[in-house]
Amino acid sequence: MMKLSSIFRKKTKAADDGPANSASETDVFQGTAKKRVSLARSRVAFVTVAFVAVYAIIGGRLVHYSLAKEDGTVARAAMPLTLARRPDIVDRNGAIMATDVRMMSLYADPSMITSADDVLEALKPIFPDLDVARAYRLLNSKGEFVWLKRQITPKQQSQVLAAGVPGVGFRPEVRRFYPGGPEAAHILGLVDIDNRGLSGIERYMDQSDGISSLMGLGLTGSMGLEPFETSLDLRAESIVRDTLVRGVKKFEALGATGIILDADTGEVVALASYPDFDPNNPPPASDERMLNHAITGVYEMGSTFKLFTLAMGLESGKFNLQSMVDAKTPLYFGSSRIGDDHAQNRILTYPEVFTYSSNIGASRIAGAVGPDYQKNFLEKLGLLEKIDTEIGGSGTPQKPQKWGGVFSATVSFGQGITTTPLQTAAAAAAIVNGGKLFPPTFLPRTPEEADQIATRVISEETSDKMRYLLRLNGTDGSGRNGQVPGYRVGAKTGTSEKIIDGKYAHDHNFNAFLAAFPMDDPRYVVLVTIDDPKKVEGVPGRTAAWNAGPMAGEIIRRTAPLLGVDPDFGADGEALLASY
C-alpha cells in the first residue's frame, strides 16, 4: 500500500509538472516573434530615413543649382521642362517685328573633365571670342554644371560634336530675333540673355502683361501667348528709315529723325532715329547709336514753332486772318536784336507772317497776347513738360526761367525753348485735327478711345484757319519742296542755328520740316529733322526747305498709298485755299 501511494503521488506530481513546462516554451516563442517584428520595423524605418535623406540631398542640390550665378561654378543643373518664351511683337497689319527662335547653348560638367587645357584647346578655334580665363576658371571649379557659351549657332554645335570634346553638352534655349534688323530698333528695344525685356516695347510688355513673372515660373513655354500688337506700320517704318539713311548720306549730316503720326488718334505709325543699331547684335548701352533722338533728344525746333504762335494769336481773339502785323523794322530788347531772314520791311498780313516766316511778326503776336497767355497755351499743347509713352526715355524740354520781353519773343519763333520731335508732332496734330490733343502712343487706339482721353486745346474754327495757313505755305511759301501731287500737303519749315560752345553757330543748323496731309481733312502728320546738314552740289541751300523738306515729301509720296490715302488731282482738292 505504501508503494502504491508513493507511486500515485509521483504520477500526480509528474502530471502537475507537465503544463508548467509547456507554458515556458510558449513564452520563448512569443519573445522571438516580438524581436522579429521589432527588427522588421527598424529596417523599414532605416529604409524610410535613407530615402528621405537621399531625396533631401537631391532637392538641396537642385535648389543650389537654381540659385547659383551663371558666372560662378554652378548653374542650372536640371533640364527645364519648358523654355521661357515671349509673345511675338507685330505691327498693325500682323507683320512680325520680334519673335523667339530656338537656340542651343554649350555647357560643361567640370567633374567629368580631366584637363581644362585640352577642352579649351578644342573650343577656342570654334569660339574665337571665348573668354579663356573665365572658361578655365569654370572648368576647374568643383561644380557639376557651368555655362561655357550661350546661344551658339548650328554650325558651332556641329563643330563641337565633330571635335568630340569630353565633358560638354548642349541645352535648348530661346533667343529673341528681330527680322527687320535696325528697323524700329529704338521702339522695340532689347532683351537680355535670359529673354527678359530691357527697353522699349520689350520692357513695356513685361511690365504691363506680367510676362517676366510668368517666365520666372517657367510657364510661358507651354502657354499660347497672343502676339503683342503695336500701332506701327512696318512698311511705313521701313520707308521712313530708308529716307533718313539716304538723306544723312546725301547731306553729310550727323543724324536725322522721321515721324508719321495719326492725326485722329495720336498713334505713332512710324518713328525712326538714325544712326541706329541692329538689336540682333546690339552695341554697348553707351554707344551713341542707342540714343533715340526722336524721343530723347530735345532741340530748338526753329520756325516750326510759328505754327503754334499764329494759332495762339487766333485763339486769343486778338488776331484774325485779316489782321495786319508791323514788320517794317527789327525789334530791339536792350542789346538783343530780332530781325527777319527774308525781310519785307513792311506791314504784313497775318498769312504773310506765316509764309514769309517773319520773326518780327511772330514776336509782335506773342507780345500782344502776353507772356502768361503764351506760357499757358504752350503748356496746354504739351510742349513745356516731359511726355510719357510706352517705351519711356522721353527728354525733358527746356523753357525760359521767366517769360516776357525778349524771352517770349524768341520762343515765338522757336529759340530759347527746346522740345522733342515727337511732342512737337503731337502738338501739331492738335492744331490740324480740329483742336484735340492726344497723348502719342505706340499701341493701337481707335478714334473713340482717343476721344475719351483727348484734351481740347484750340477751337475747330482756329484749327480750320491754321490748316489754311499750312496749305498756303505749302504752295506759296517754304513748304513747296515737300509737295506731293494729289495729296495737298500743308507744311512749315524750321531752320535753327545750333549752339556750339555756348554761342549760336551760323554755319551749323538743326533743320525741321513739319507737314500734314491731306490738308482739307488731315489724316497724318509727318515731321522730319536733320542734324547739321552740309550744302551739297546741286542743292541751292542748306536750310530745311532744301533737305528736310524733300525728305518729308519722299516719305509722303511713298507711304500715303500704303496708308490708304488716295490722291486727288481734281480742283475740288483745293477747296480749302478757295474758302479764305
Catalytic residue numbers read 303
The pair phi, psi for residue 344, each rounded to 5°, is -100, -15
Nearest to 492 by CA among 510, 522, 472, 518: 472
| Whole-number CA gyration radius for the chain | 39
Nearest to 140 by CA among 114, 118, 106: 114
Nearest to 244 by CA among 225, 259, 263: 259
CA separation, residue 432 to residues 43, 132, 361 (Å): 88, 61, 22
CA separation, residue 73 to residues 122, 261, 308, 315, 405 (Å): 21, 51, 62, 69, 68
Rounded to whole angstroms, how far apart are CA atoms 467 and 432?
A: 6
Q: Who contacts 86 (Cβ-Cβ below 8 Å, separation ≥6)?
A: 98, 100, 174, 176, 191, 195, 197, 202, 205, 211, 215, 220, 225
> What's the distance, Cα to Cα, between the start and end of the chain in Å?
164
Which residue matches cell numbers 569660339? Answer: 127
For 506, the 3-state DSSP assignment is: strand
For 566, the 3-state DSSP assignment is: coil
Q: Who contacts 384 (Cβ-Cβ below 8 Å, separation ≥6)?
A: 375, 378, 397, 399
Number of helices (H) and strands (E) in the chain: give both, helices first.
18, 16
Q: Identify the helix (H) or strand (E) that includes residue 512.
A: strand 503-517
Identity of the residue numbered 243: T
Please count the other Cβ atoms lying within 10 Å of the Cβ belonging to residue 19.
8
Q: Does residue 518 have a cis peptide bond before it, meaning omega lies within 30 degrees of 0?
A: yes
Please count the other Cβ atoms lying within 10 Å of the Cβ belonging to residue 578.
9
Identity of the residue numbered 61: R
